Amino acid sequence: MKNPTFLLAIFCLIFLFSCNQNPPEQEEEAFINPLPGAWKMTAYLPADSSTMTAPDFVQYKFYTGQHFCFLAYDATADTLIMAGGGTYTAVKDTLTEDLVFTTWDSTNIDVSYTFNYQVKDGKFEQRGSMPSTTEGEPDFQLAEDYEYVGLSIDTSGTAGSPSGLWRSNLAAYGDAAEPTTLENGDVIYKLITPTHFFVMSFQPDEGRYRGMVFGTWEIKDGKYTEKIILASWNKEMAGMEIPYDYTVTDNKFEQKAMVTVGDETGKIEEYYERVE
């Protein structure tokens, strides 16, 4: 018969040893960026107020995997209020935006702004202070709320879809015989969501804004057709519907049309390469 005292001692040693072991660490869940998509503003904090207010203008903000852009406009007057864009990084609750171009102040270019943010149940909240880049002006306290309204890029891989973020520095306008690189090193970025398009032209070294066009699109009678909501170059273009001949591959997108604005007719040819 085994000694019960000996067995009890062995049991106690095993129990004490197991209690001294650290529990296995739980692996932290991998971060999944919740920002890619199209967002529409529902409330913001005016500079002269302490209360969040529903906007009397339309503001969209678009995030792709690496880039963001935004625009605000007066829908009743077809007038641009502001626009901008750049690159961003996001971690669990911190968002850093690096501005590449803006319509309001070129001293903001190449400046990084860090915000707190939250995305939950289709709502996106962004909060933070934007330090002033102009002497004598106060820092700007940003507080904006958005609701999710759709994808920023069609991720379904639909064959022939032009959805994506595109970059061009080659185009032909008016009566130009051949496409040429844009003057002054200008570039055009074009975001095509599943429903909207947003064209932004700027000088990247200086971040100097040149112009923008925003609207909706569809493939209609075999043509890539844009319906313009807002055009900073020429307000007469608002409401125009322009059908383009187009070609799209994995990495290239081309669009060509003859367009009449007022009493002037000229070509629009733009040649893009995919960014995302």
pLDDT for the residue numbered 8: 46
* Chain mean pLDDT for the chain: 89
pLDDT at position 198 over 80: yes
Q: Which domains does the chain have, with CATH numbers?
A: 37-150 (2.40.128.490), 164-274 (2.40.128.490)
Q: Per the confidence metrics, is the pTM higher than 0.85? A: yes
N-term to C-term CA, the chain = 77
pLDDT at position 53 over 70: yes
**Mean pLDDT throughout 191-195?**
97
pLDDT at position 205 over 50: yes
Alpha helix stretches (DSSP H) within 26-155: none
Report residue 145's pLDDT band, with 50, 70 and 90 as the boundaries.
Answer: very high
Closest by CA to 69, choosing from 214, 226, 272, is 214
Q: Which two tokens stand for residue 272?
A: 């893009």
**Mean pLDDT throughout 111-125?**
97
